[in-house]
Structure 1
Amino acid sequence: MSRSKPLFHALALCAALAACSSTPAAVSTDAPAPTGYLRGDALPDSLALSPPPPAAGTAWAALDDAVAAQALTLRDSPRFRQAHIDADLGFPDGAQQFSCALGIPVDERHTPVLMRLLQRSLIDASAATRAAKTHYQRPRPFMVNGQPTCTPEQEDHLRGSGSYPSGHTAIGWTWALILSEIAPERATALLQRGRNYGHSRLVCNVHWYSDVQQGQAMAAATVARLHDDPQFGADLLLAQREVEAVRKLGLPLPRDCATEAEALKIEIPEAR
């Protein structure tokens, strides 16, 4: 593969992730831009499926505030550093976010079908949150509490992107659900990773608890619609066979899974 192709994929996905954080990249024209599986009405309507975010003075808003305050106590901890790692959705590196839970490396050499499936479903999950994010334009926690995030380089962009629902959470939970179908024997680990992937957005101080909850809901809606798409179904089967074959090779993982596991054991303290 040419050296410019990963750079191109990163840019193409950043464009698709207007609802999430992004990092500009240079343009390459040696490959077509990845696209999602879903088109038009096939995309879940997040504005119809998402109730308004919690109003000030309600119990739900108080819960959001309490969780955000407790998440701030993890700043400068290993969990905070993991939240920074989890914020990266650019490809090809973004495909490795679930490699420890899946138990195999995810890359273009060994799992090209799975890479394509993750890229395309990422675009769908991100697009599924966009209508509600744009409509509600909810300020993010760091804009309210004045505290730093785990991705200071992205804060200017995030100020212009609504907080509700969480796009990163929708993507992470979409991946967790899909990967659990591909490797059902690792479903528990994959779903745990999907849960703490969303919680990384709380630790990062860029999303409220209700943003994360609704991000998971939009992920479930996205996966339900994906199962009605023939190309997704075909790719899902191919990816399952691909993962089974790669697992037999016993390849080393590209991440420090022990360090990741220890960091992810750190939970946001209960609100007092």
Structure 2
Amino acid sequence: MIKRKFLRPSFFTAVILSAVMLSCGPQSKIITQPSTSLSKDLKEISPGILEGYLSKDAIPNSLELVPPPPEEGSAALQLDQEMAAKYVASKDEARKEQATQDAVLSFPEAVNAFNRVLEVQISEETTPHLYMILRRTLTDAGLSTYAAKNHYQRGRPFMVNNTPICTPEDEAALRKDGSYPSGHTAIGWAWALILTEVFPEEADDILERGKQFGISRNVCNVHWHSDVVYGRMMGAAAVAALHANIDFRIDLEVAKEEVAALAVLEE
């Protein structure tokens, strides 16, 4: 059993950055995946973060896939600034609270972002295969954004407009982490695409939730509009790469079976 830790965004930033440099050496903790599809020992590449499915070479390269961030004086940058100002001026406290919740990438808390729109609830106890897929693909999708993040080192909206963010305790770490493209958005969109395969009848609700998960980064004043747009692109690229991975495909089929079995029991 993996010890659960509450991962605030700053912690995620630190461990993902360290994961870029790690190759899961002997110091990594080994965890057995509870899967009938694969008997595989998994490693924690950092506390609370599991190794993904994709090798370093298989992770999509965001520096090659996304354009440079908007330039000074461009219409795209003007749109970014206008959208940021709109969210800063918003008085919708319920939406801000949801954005704060969406910032959390810890497990088991992270599954609540999509459980709110699903009939069958995801959990380690009832859907262990799907739960494990989400844990592992968090790493794949998150890492896919870092080639561009590290190269461009784009400053975040709150660094320009000097207004508060949803998680002020993370401000120092976020200042050191490139804004473009959004890693949270890539993760949320990858999860949404995967979940539509498991719950096809609920696809529209899942995709809307995945879209809003990314927009929450705008609401929190920690990402620009273009960060989120291209974060979504990287999430889709990660899922495309995952479908070329046999371990992921096998686990996905087993996850579909376990959810189908639960749905029958609830009828």
Pairwise same-fold verdict (TM > 0.5): yes
Q: How far is the alpha carbon of 1:101 from its aligned partner?
A: 1.9
Question: Corresponding residue for 1:234?
Answer: 250
What secondary structure sits across from 1:7 in the alignment?
A: coil
Q: How far is the alpha carbon of 1:102 from its aligned partner?
A: 2.3
Question: Corresponding residue for 2:162?
Answer: 146
Q: Which amino acid aligns with 1:244?
A: A
The range that moved more, 87-96 or 124-133, is 87-96
Inter-partner Cα distance in structure 2 for 1:179 and 1:59: 35
Please list, as runs of the form range in 1=range in 2, the aligned pairs for 1:151-162 lying within 5 A after superposition. Answer: 151-162=167-178
Superposition RMSD on alpha carbons, in Å?
2.3
1:134 corresponds to 2:132: no
Q: How far is the alpha carbon of 1:75 from its aligned partner?
A: 4.9
Q: Which amino acid aligns with 2:16?
A: L
Inter-partner Cα distance in structure 1 for 2:130 and 2:243: 16
Question: Corresponding residue for 2:61?
Answer: 45
Inter-partner Cα distance in structure 1 for 2:127 and 2:8: 18
Q: TM-score, normalised by structure 2?
A: 0.84
Assess, with a 3 A threshold, how the Cα gap between structure 1 residues 108 and 173 changes in structure 2: closer, same or farther. same
Inter-partner Cα distance in structure 1 for 2:183 and 2:71: 21
Q: How far is the alpha carbon of 1:221 from its aligned partner?
A: 0.8
Q: Which amino acid aligns with 1:118?
A: L
Question: Corresponding residue for 1:7?
Answer: 5
Q: Which amino acid aligns with 2:136?
A: R
1:17 corresponds to 2:16: yes
1:93 corresponds to 2:109: yes
Assess, with a 3 A threshold, how the Cα gap between structure 1 residues 50 and 248 changes in structure 2: closer, same or farther. same
Structure (1/2) with the larger strand percentage: 2
Q: What do the CA deviations read for 1:91-130 (whole angstroms, capped 9, x no partner)?
A: 1211221112222222111011011100111100000000
Correspondence for 2:225 among 180, 186, 209: 209
Q: How far is the alpha carbon of 1:175 from its aligned partner?
A: 0.3
Please list, as runs of the form range in 1=range in 2, the aligned pairs for 1:189-204 lying within 5 A after superposition. Answer: 189-204=205-220
Q: Which amino acid aligns with 2:4?
A: P
Asked whether the 8 Å contact 1:111–1:242 carries over to 2, the reply is yes
1:123 corresponds to 2:121: no
- How many residues end up aligned between the 2 structures? 240
Q: What do the CA deviations read for 1:134-192 (whole angstroms, capped 9, x no partner)?
A: 00000000000000001111111100000000000000000000000111101000000
Asked whether the 8 Å contact 1:35–1:120 carries over to 2, the reply is yes
Assess, with a 3 A threshold, how the Cα gap between structure 1 residues 200 and 133 changes in structure 2: closer, same or farther. same
What secondary structure sits across from 1:55 in the alignment?
A: coil
Gaps of 5+ in 2: 19-27, 32-42, 45-49
Q: How far is the alpha carbon of 1:16 from its aligned partner?
A: 4.4
1:102 corresponds to 2:118: yes
What secondary structure sits across from 1:121 in the alignment?
A: helix
Q: TM-score, normalised by structure 1?
A: 0.83
Asked whether the 8 Å contact 1:96–1:107 carries over to 2, the reply is no
